Amino acid sequence: MVQEPSFQIHLPDLKSNEQLFLETIYSLANGHFGVRDSNPFQGNADQFLGAPGLFVNGFYDYRPLSYGEKYSNYAENDQIINRLMDPRALQMIVGTSDSRKTPFDILLLDKNLDMKTGQLKEKFAVTTPAQEQFHLMIESFASLADEAVYGIRYSVLPLNFNRTVTIIKQHDNVNQNTNEPTDDVRVNHSMGLLNGFPLSNKLQPAYEVMTSQSQQSVTLTWHLVDQEDDMVSEMELNTPDELGYRTTYQAEAGRLKQLSFIYGIGPVVNNNEGFSNADFLKAMHQVKFDEAFAVSAEKWAKFWQHSDIAIDGDKSVQTSLRFDLFQLNQSVGRDGRTNIPAKGLTGNGYGGQYFWDTEIFMLPFFIYTQPQTARKLLEFRAQTLPMALQQARNLGFLTGATFAWRTINGREASSYWPAGLAQFHINADIAYAIDQYVTVTEDYEFLRQSGFEMLVQTARFWLEYGNYAEIDGKRWFVINTVTGPDEYSALVNNNYYTNVMVQHNLEMAVKYAHILSEKDADLLSWLGITDAEIEAMTDAARSIYLPYDQQKQIKLQFQDFNQLKRMPLEDIDSGKFPLLLHHHPLTLYHYQVNKQADTVLADILFPNGNPLEQLKRDYDFYEPITSHDSSLSRSSFAILAARIGYADEAYNFFTEAVQTDLLDLQKNTANGIHAGNAGGSWQAIIYGFAGVMNNAAVFTLQPHLPIQWQRLAFKLTLRDCEYAFEIMQTEVTVTLVKGGYGKMVIANQTIELTSDHPAITVSLPTS
Ligand code: IFM
């Protein structure tokens, strides 16, 4: 099969790349689990540098947080995704050389990730201490069709020997060790405290893996599916030090031999609830390598059919963008109990935890291309609502809910609360996402089931967290002592982004209360909503204080932002970034310096009512004081720059954002990809260059196609219709691919599409 180059991650000059970086880039995942692309001989040996391992979404353990001075209601525990044994690991005995006793020399020759099918192919040149040389080829995939399945096939080609070869696939420890130098504060180390209990059965090796503290377990099993006729395999099922397969054959120079394994990675089981290991092992035992790969590849084809973005004009941007889309689809939990870790399932940076990255950066991609997955992500938040209600009580509030800033299980896991827990904007981010989801999909069932309750409980929290105060002789609803998205300032009064999001949160609670009051009065009374409460929300939203500098005519990041000195970013040596690794937080809080878009993000999320000149002034003021030390920053600047006609800036920010991981711009791709940035890159195309107005009552498109591109094509789903958009420099063509009727505004022209007239081309004004 011919592989399309723009779907291949085939990095040139592999040897000059670091092992840890390659492990991340070539990780395979499917939303349930992820496998880093390790050196297959590393296992738990300490001779090699590397951080291999298997991560299962939502499978974590606690680590008690330690504080010098621990005040009331500080978070008790960190939650860290477990690092399980590496399913890629193998041991080989060639003649008398044993790879576990005396390490083999392994040289990477080639790696190719085919994003079209989700298949990773690798080739290594291996030399044993006795100078036997062979090529080792590995093909692997994480199934998108059956989330439990990981397949790996080894091919061995001896170059200069005829000897007995033994290939051993045993896993004598369910904890995976790493050997990696890092003191980066953004990395949480997994703890290696898993317990593995071999499962007695007649079929295949298996462990039940249990955490030490979180009361979770996962069943892990593997199965030799294909071997050649002259190979002899023995299987050990019941002892932890030999659990696995030992395959022996007579190798001959020039004769390729293959054997393949299927790993089964069961669901995360909480408190031993209702999971049958026996059924799982039986099901896994039926899985065949080629068939499993074929059905997974079909799923990938379907993904690309609906979610691809094609760009004519820049090949490397095209591939990088596809890498981002591929990573989004690899990282997303689809079961309503898990979410998207900030680093996907490609590493344990940020402990495998979920942040606002999901709602504000990644969810739009899913809302517009896989609405059913978007719903599952919101359902995850809904199932953590009881903990969010509890969190509000713990903090002393009588009403409402406040969601965890960073979490896996719904409880707060931030140890540094000024830049963690105090980012209360996450509540309004979730509310924003709920409204966006409902607006685009019209899924009122979700709204009734849990969306509306989240809107109301977050709005209640704001009513109590905020208060009325007089500023410049006027009565305002103010929100004090919060941290906005920018993490180089903390605990400020009236953060613009937070306040504008809170206003929207309150408005949405009121809006949907009115909508539901007609047919779902019971729901309102079950939630105890009164007219007085609706009035209080309406008044607070109307009276919210939005700080503004009258002199400079810009939105102020927070009330006293003007009083801070400006940090001269242009004078700082490039080696001193990210600033957070070189300065005490307080030093940074002391200056006008931004880690990431804050006020600018508000401008993007609320495009209406902002005159162009206002947006330009905001951009011109905030861009020079932003270090982009957060990977979430560049895509936001790209969107705003595209909207205000700063074409070069838009293009530069976008090309940087889209290549963040492949070029290792944040210098920490080794610990995992930047999933939020991948979503941001999608937004830069859709909201920036295509000019889609987010959450607009009528869907609008106002393209700003970069002059470097001849064509941009993508599909979006709105309600029950799917549309294909093709944007050229002079015209836009929209085609109704699915559904019966659609209306939208393109470049200020209203168009209507029907199944009889499914395609319309609109000319763009020449600039
Ligand atoms: O959520 C982000 C935050 O905005 C910046 N620091 C990293 C977090 C995880 O990506």
Instruction: Compute the distance from residue 249 Cα to the ligand 1 centre, in Å.
Output: 51
pLDDT one-digit tens code per residue, 418-436: 999 999 999 999 999 999 9
DSSP single-letter state for residue 291: H
Mean pLDDT of the chain: 96
pLDDT of 14 reads 79
What is the spatial distance between Cα 312 and Cα 304, in angstroms, rounded to a whole number? 17
Q: Tell me: pLDDT of 528 over 70.
A: yes
Instruction: Indicate yes or no: pTM above 0.95.
Output: yes
pLDDT of 765 reads 87
Instruction: Compute the distance from residue 408 Cα to the ligand 1 centre, in Å.
Output: 15
pLDDT average, residue stretch 562-581: 95
| pLDDT band for position 698 (cuts 50, 70, 90) | confident
Q: Tell me: pLDDT of 17 over 80.
A: no
pLDDT one-digit tens code per residue, 204-242: 999 999 999 999 999 999 999 999 999 999 999 888 888
Return the percentage of the chain with pLDDT > 90, whole number: 93
- 442 φ/ψ sector (left φ>0, alpha ψ -120 to 50, else beta): left
CA 195 centroid distance within chain: 28
Q: Which atom of ligand 1 is nearest to the CA of 676?
A: 10
Q: Tell me: pLDDT of 187 over 70.
A: no
pLDDT of 442 reads 95
pLDDT of 689 reads 98
pLDDT one-digit tens code per residue, 277-309: 999 999 999 999 999 999 999 999 999 999 999
Q: What Å distances lie between residue 412 and 193, 416, 647, CA to CA?
A: 22, 11, 41
DSSP state letters, 218-241: EEEEEEEEE--TT-EEEEE-S-TT
pLDDT of 589 reads 97
Identify the burial level of 726 via C-beta atoms within 10 angstroms of its C-beta, where 0-12 means exposed, 13-18 middle and 19 or more buried: middle
Q: Is the CB of 132 under 6 A from ligand 1?
A: no
- Best residue among 357, 501, 628 to mutate for probing ligand 1's pocket (most ligand atoms within 8 Å of CB) is 357
Q: Tell me: pLDDT of 695 over 70.
A: no
pLDDT one-digit tens code per residue, 740-758: 999 999 999 999 999 999 9
541 three-class SS: helix
pLDDT of 272 reads 80
What is the spatial distance between Cα 744 and Cα 342, in angstroms, rounded to a whole number? 34
Q: What is the set of domains in the chain, with CATH numbers?
A: 56-302 (2.70.98.40), 308-714 (1.50.10.10), 720-763 (no CATH)
516 touches 523 (CB < 8 A): yes
Residues 6+ apart with CB under 8 A from 391: 401, 402, 403, 404, 411, 412
Looking up tokens 């713990």, which residue turns up? 394
Q: Is the CB of 598 under 6 A from ligand 1?
A: no
Q: Which atom of ligand 1 is nearest to the CA of 485?
A: 4
Sheet with strand 163-170: strands edge to edge: 97-98, 91-94, 163-170, 244-251, 232-236
What is the spatial distance between Cα 14 and Cα 19, in angstroms, rounded to a whole number? 9
Inter-axis angle of helices 675-683 and 315-331, nearest 10: 130
pLDDT of 16 reads 73
* Structure-model confidence comparison of residues 412 and 17, the more confident one: 412
Q: Tell me: pLDDT of 3 over 90.
A: no
Q: Is the CB of 488 under 6 A from ligand 1?
A: no
Amino acid, res. 50: G
